[in-house]
Amino acid sequence: NLDGEALVRAPEVTANFGVDWTISVNNRFLRDITLRGDIFYSDEYKLTFIDYPETRQDSYTTGSASILFTSPSERYMLRAFVDNIADEELLFNGSYLATTGAFIGYYSEPRTYGAEFTINF
């Protein structure tokens, strides 16, 4: 009987805030530069029907940032980014294995960064 138990993967509060700022350059190589930042907050939540401490994700805040360079024709774009800036360790999925009495979990990606080059046809 799970009467009165909280829903799985249902934090009471989540919030997402994003902002971007575009700087017009307008020269022969570059039309504009766009800076973007995002912050996401989640209250704690459980990952299984029965609330084990090992399958509970604590509240967390994570952020990402990027810079985008756009060509005058908008055909070429170069974007550099970093995700999970604070390198938060987030439990993405968790389970209790009754046969062995063990808990298993899968975590989200650590801090990642990279670049993307796009060509529009």
pLDDT of 97: 85
pLDDT of 31: 96
pLDDT of 10: 92
CB distance 87 to 111 below 8 Å: yes
Within 10 Å of residue 57's Cβ, how many Cβ atoms?
Answer: 21
pLDDT of 4: 79
Average pLDDT of 44-49?
90
Average pLDDT of 52-57?
88
pLDDT of 1: 66
pTM for this prediction:
0.81
- Residue 12: pLDDT band (50, 70, 90) is very high
CB distance 65 to 86 below 8 Å: no
Average pLDDT of 61-83?
97
Q: DSSP readout, 32-70?
A: EEEEEEEEEEE--EESSSS--GGGEEPPEEEEEEEEEEE
- Residue 48: pLDDT band (50, 70, 90) is confident
